[in-house]
Amino acid sequence: MVTIARPYSRYWKNTLTPLKGKIKQYDYIGFDVETFGEENEFYSGGLYWYENNKEMWEYYNKKEDLIKAMLSRRFKNKTFVATNLGFDLTSLFFDTPQWNDIQLTSRGSDILLASYPLGDGNGKIKIIDTFNFVGFSVEKLGKIIGSNKLEKPSFWEKTETGYNAIKPRNYQEEVELEVYNKQDCKISCDFMYFLQKGINEAGGNLKITIASTSLDVWRRSHLKQNITKENFRIPKIKDFIFEGYYGGRTEVFKRGYHENLNYYDINSLYPSVMRKQYPDPNSIMRVPVAMQKYINEYEGVTKCEVISPDGIKIPFLPKKIDGKLKFPAGNFIGTWNNCELRKAISLGYKVRPIKQIIYTETFNPFSSYVNTFYNKRLEYKSQGSNMELVMKLLLNSLYGKFAQKEKQKMTIDNIDYLSVEKQKELLFSPEENMNIKNNHIINIIKSEFDGLFSLPILSSYTTSYARILMYDYIARDDAVYTDTDSVVIKGELPTGNALGEMKLEYKVNKGVYVKPKFYMMNFNVKDKETNQITTIDDVKIKGVNHADTKNFVDIINGNSVKKIKFSKLRESIRRGLKPNTKIKVTKLLGIDDDKRVWYHNFVDLVNNKTHEDSTPCVVLDEGCVMNTKSYIKEFGVEK
């Protein structure tokens, strides 16, 4: 076995340590704008905050006045917060002189943070989104904190797709809109204080996302040792570790129409497996010759050739094929964590290791964290306290932070507001990721993330443990559908209230399952207070927000789905629109599922109120050297 030592002088710059220091309390200002018309043009906006325990409120009908107020030095130590920041920020600032100075931290097309430098070393203004913590509407946030959102203004036009906001036509309507705006600002502001209270009591600081917040809490109260990044001990090994990192399993096993099914999910799947032993990154080693005995004896990551057992109906090992996560049968090459390979071997998989790293030690980094906050969650639940939500967020948001791969900054400059010198600098010396569209210069700066907490083995082992736990529930003849932590089956499963045990979510009266994240289920729900039973249609269609039964039927019949959405920032620039313009979207989605092999016409199955079973797809990789004769014979394919 060989390990590579790195200079000690760089050790601390590559080592995650327990955090110390005081718990901080930040000041927040609720921020919300009102718009009107098809292009959602700015009409008014408000700011809500507290000063010396007194409620403060300002409301502006002029865009330039609200901007001036927000960017004044009196707010430099406060953080503005909106719900759906992308909408409010662009409605107010886009294509104003101040817009070019705003720097955006984004994740894909979502804006996480907007920063505006005050100049002269006087700090900056920060604007964040409640969506960074939980993807709830203002209405739902209000219910959590006991401050209900008001009804939509009475003068807004109600349509089939929602409400069409229009300008107030008299003083009474002006007042109604102002009161409505104030409540929205207050809810966003108060929710952040509610969240901060829970995080502070948990022993941490509220950061700009729930993932970074969870990391802060864990490091302060539950990290008991220094952890040095694998990349420091073995350069460039992180990419290999990422090869064995796969997400949750989502699959249909029996397509078509079903009746009388049971929908189960696990009580906090990821937190439940986080109590297990993990590879200790401090003990990473590269082995000179990859061998199966290292899979059996150590935690680690192994690239290998595998052959799945003859006739396996629900294969176990995942493989990324054309960007899609599948679970094939056959003879193929991939990279997996050793815990997953041990499970595969127990199921009859044959394994030939090719490349391998191992960890000579294990540790238990998350057990106290999970036990603490799961018990607190149960305590809050028994008290009827909505602080339960904060504990749930902490439990579910930590594991993925260790697998952060990149960071992204974005600037979008209106050329008209750039000096001649700056135009020349940008236009004649363009950066690699720069793009010019409709009088705007878009510069997206992506960089590989290699921070102290870049420890992908911790995230990867979490998802591996979760798939292992779920496999025994889905590898049944009566399994119909699975999605990460849930399974829909014909039969029954043992249930319990403990962490990691199954619970019966509801009984499905009727269900139609098309492909992953595309289904319709009908079930009954009993109101806890009135005991009245309501029948619910739960429709999920990947790619169609707020899908309903009509959308589902239209797609099954080969028709397109029409929706109205607000154009996001980059899409708007590309199409020459104002951000947040209402646009009609027509989607024609297919119903074919290539994750497994199907034999019948899906529409015929539904029309006949029946379903069909499936077989796994088969993969025979080039470069495999193990015996594949049995697969060629069984599946009738040539290598």
DSSP secondary structure string, 530-596? T--EEEEEEEEETT-TT--HHHHHHHHTT--EEEEEE--HHHHHHHT--TT-EEEEEE-------SE
> Has residue 3 got a pLDDT over 60?
no
- Contact at 8 Å (CB) between 453 and 215? yes
What six digits make up the tokens of 301? Answer: 């990551």
Could you report the per-residue pLDDT of 498-532, keeping only the tens digit for each? 999 999 999 999 999 999 999 999 998 877 777 78
| Cβ count within 10 A of residue 260 | 10
The neighbouring-strand residues paired with 587 are: 561
Residue 356 burial (10 A CB sphere; 0-12, 13-18, 19+): buried
pLDDT category at 431 given cuts 50, 70, 90 is low
Please give the Cα distance from 23 to 493 (Å, whole number): 44
Residues 542-551, mean pLDDT to the nearest whole number? 91
pLDDT level of residue 159 (50, 70, 90 thresholds): confident
Task: Give the tens place of pLDDT for each residue, 234-265.
Answer: 999 999 999 999 999 999 999 999 999 999 99
**Cα separation of 582 and 258, whole Å?**
38
Three-class DSSP labels, 393-418: HHHHHCHHHHHCCEEEEEEEEEHHHC
C-alpha torsion 509→514→519→524, nearest 10: 0
What is residue 267's DSSP assignment?
Answer: T
**Do residues 393 and 214 lie in contact, with contact meaning Cβ atoms separated by under 8 Å?**
yes
Half-sphere exposure (Cβ direction) of 218: Cα atoms closer than 13 Å = 28
465-475: pLDDT as tens digits: 999 999 999 99
Average pLDDT score over the chain: 91
- What is the CA 125 to chain-centroid distance, rounded? 27
Whether the Cβ atoms of residue 117 and residue 101 lie closer than 8 Å to each other = yes
Overall average pLDDT of the 219-233 stretch = 94
Local structure of 252: helix, strand or coil: strand
For position 432, what pLDDT does the model report? 61
Q: What is the pLDDT of residues 47-72, one digit of tens each?
A: 999 999 999 999 999 999 999 999 98
- Give yes or no for residue 164 having a pLDDT over 80: yes
pLDDT reading at 631 higher than 50: no
DSSP sequence for 117-160: E-STT--EEEEEEGGGT----HHHHHHHHT-PPPPPPTTSEEET
350 has a pLDDT exceeding 60:
yes
Q: pLDDT for 473-497, tens place per residue?
A: 999 999 999 999 999 999 999 999 8
Instruction: List the single range of 2-6, 321-325, 456-460, 547-551 with lowest mean pLDDT.
Output: 2-6
What string of H, E and C letters represents the secondary structure of 601-619? Answer: CHHHHHHCCCEEECEECEE
| Beta pairing class for 78-82 and 27-36 | parallel
For residue 616, the tally of other CB atoms under 10 A from its CB is 21
Name 305's bridge partners: 333, 352
Task: Identify the band that residue 28 occupies on the pLDDT scale cut at 50, 70 and 90.
Answer: very high
Cβ neighbours of 134 (radius 10 Å): 17
Neighbours of 594 (CB within 10 A): 13
pLDDT on residue 261: 96
Q: Calculate the CA 200 to chain-centre distance.
A: 24
Between 319 and 434, residue with greater pLDDT? 319
Closest CA to 83 of 57, 48, 118, 123: 48
Q: Is the pLDDT of residue 91 over 80?
A: yes
Q: Does pLDDT of 41 surpass 90?
A: yes
Beta bridge partners of 611: 256
Q: How confident is the model at residue 6 (pLDDT cuts 50, 70, 90)?
A: very low
Q: Give the pLDDT confidence score for residue 4 in this predicted structure.
A: 47
In the DSSP assignment, the letter for residue 22 is P
Per the CATH hierarchy, to which homologous superfamily does domain 27-202 belong? Answer: Ribonuclease H-like superfamily/Ribonuclease H (3.30.420.10)
**pLDDT surpassing 90 at residue 406:** no
Length of the chain: 639
pLDDT band with cut points at 50, 70 and 90 for residue 628:
low
Is residue 402 within 8 Å of 97, Cβ to Cβ?
no
Grade residue 119 by pLDDT with cuts at 50, 70 and 90: confident
What stretch(es) of the chain map to CATH 3.30.420.10? 27-202
User: Is the pLDDT at 372 greater than 90, yes or no?
Assistant: yes
Average pLDDT score over residue span 125-133: 96
Cβ atoms of 513 and 595 closer than 8 Å: no
Instruction: Say yes or no to pLDDT of 632 above 60.
Output: no
Distance CA 130, CA 141 (A): 9
Q: Enumerate the β-bridge partners of residue 129.
A: 82
In this predicted structure, the answer to whether residue 34 has a pLDDT above a threshold of 80 is yes
pTM (2 d.p.): 0.92
- The span from the CA of 470 to the CA of 465, in Å, is 9
Cβ proximity of 392 and 370 under 8 Å: no
Max Cα-Cα span within the chain: 82
| Spatial separation of the C-alpha atoms in residues 466 and 343, rounded to whole Å | 12
